[in-house]
Amino acid sequence: MPSASHFEIPFNKPYLSGMEVEYMRLGVSHGHISGNGRYTKLCQNFFEERWGIKKCLFTTSCTDALEMCALLLRIEPGDEVIVPSYTFVSSALAFARQGAKIVFADSRKDHPGIDESSIEALVSPKTKAIVVVHYAGIACEMDVVMDIAQRHKLYVVEDAAQAIDSYYKDRPLGSIGHLACFSFHETKNIQCGEGGMLAINDPSFIERAEVVWEKGTNRAQLFRGEVNKYQWMDTGSSFLASDMLAAFLWAQLENLQDIQNRRKEIWDWYEQNIKSLLPEFEFDLPKIPEYASNNAHMFYLVCKTPAERDRLIAYLKSNGIHAIFHYLSLHRSAYYKERYPIPSLPNSEAFEERLVRLPIFYQLNLANLEKHIRGTAASNSRSTRSAS
């Protein structure tokens, strides 16, 4: 397969506000470029104030934020953690690294997110946590999840990597579970190349989270003048990111509404036009439950068969459009198969085999995209080359 740069319309193109480098320059002039500086605090406060999260900690990645969750929940060998199979490996890896057995849940039939109705049957006396992934920024049915967790005395971790500025009913995603994690990878709505955020909604985790975040020390307390020296207090790692990354991220957060409005415009265009533009293909459009908002992180199609999926990707590729599939179900991964019996998760497997993601990014020109989908842009380009 050619590299993404060979496509006239790439799958993703990171948005830049124009202030990223300037804020990084200002960060250097302030003399604090390591973690937990001025821009780190600005970004953390933005999340706390806009979405009502009790405490946020900026990290080098969403994976790091998830690993902090596993440490904060004191996951250890013998524990079980319920995770959807149709997700990125980090959702499970963070807990598997601590020795937990990962118990995979299936997707819903109508959406790649976790099948909430299947969770309770997976709970055992060894279960310690439920990880939900808000796939494509679309909320899981959190009332159901939180009810199960409360009755069985379990923790809930929201993997909100794709879910910035998305809601369950009137509640922001990332503000509902005991802990939550966001991603700022360059493929996300708001990005800084790599980066993440740990969101803490249960206040009992806040003090220890700062220690885990700062390599197991109480260094954050020293910076606030609460202690006169810092020392090794607990387990942890170098989870906090450089203030340079936070400076880059701040330039993005300042433009959140503009970015979201443009992405929603593109998402709506796809919903209204894609079927008529691809009449020779059979597929279903994304379904948004009535309790969920749409942050336009992703637009995907679900083809009727794997062969139809491959044919659609090949057609778009021939017209210069980089469309791609998504996750391979984790329960069928080499790592998991070597350790545990393989469960039957037909919905996850169906999305693995039939889902196609289409390009969606701020700079996407819809008139040009339509020409490429129809094949007229590629034809015009060939005609021009022949004439010359």
The pLDDT tens digits along the chain (388 residues) read 445 557 999 999 999 999 999 999 999 998 899 999 999 999 999 999 999 999 999 999 999 999 999 999 999 999 999 999 999 999 999 999 999 999 999 999 999 999 999 999 999 999 999 999 999 999 999 999 999 999 999 999 999 999 999 999 999 999 999 999 999 999 999 999 999 999 999 999 999 999 999 999 988 888 888 888 889 999 999 999 999 999 999 999 999 999 999 999 999 999 999 999 999 999 999 999 999 999 999 999 999 999 999 999 999 999 999 999 999 999 999 999 898 888 899 999 999 999 999 999 999 999 999 999 999 875 565 544 444 4
What local confidence, expressed as pLDDT, does residue 6 receive? Answer: 78
User: Can you tell me which residue has the tokens 């083809």?
Assistant: 303
Question: What pLDDT is stored for residue 221 in this prediction?
Answer: 85
- Is residue 259 within 8 Å of residue 361, measured between CB atoms? no
Q: How far apart are CA 281 and CA 274, in angstroms?
A: 10
Beta partners for residue 181, in sequence order: 159, 198
CA distances from 361 to 16, 230, 298 (A): 11, 44, 9
Give the Å distances, CA to CA, from 27 to 23, 30, 33, 105, 378: 6, 5, 6, 44, 45
**Could you tell me where in the chain the CATH 3.90.1150.10 domains are found?**
256-387
Architecture of domain 256-387: Alpha-Beta Complex (3.90)
- Name the residue with tokens 């009992």: 204
- Tokens in use for 181? 């994690």
- Residue whose token pair is 């999305």: 351
Cα distance between residue 245 and residue 15, in whole Å: 15
Q: What letter represents residue 276's amino acid?
A: S
Q: Where in the chain is the domain with CATH 3.40.640.10?
A: 20-253
Cα–Cα distance, 147 to 134 (Å, whole number): 17
Task: State both tokens at 260.
Answer: 């979201």
Q: Which SS3 state, helix, strand or coil, does residue 267 take?
A: helix
Q: How many CA atoms lie within 13 A of 296 on its CB side?
A: 22
Cβ neighbors of 128 (< 8 A, separation 6 or more) are 73, 75, 79, 80, 81, 100, 154, 155
Spatial CB neighbours of 222, under 8 Å, sequence gap ≥ 6: 228, 229, 230
Q: Contact 325/167 with Cβ under 8 angstroms?
A: no
Q: Could you tell me the fold of the domain covering 20-253?
A: Aspartate Aminotransferase; domain 2 (3.40.640)
Instruction: Flag whether the pTM goes above 0.75.
Output: yes
- For residues 257-281, one letter each, b for 16 or more C-beta atoms within 10 angstroms of the residue's C-beta and e for the rest, the string is eebbebbeebbebbeeebeeebeeb
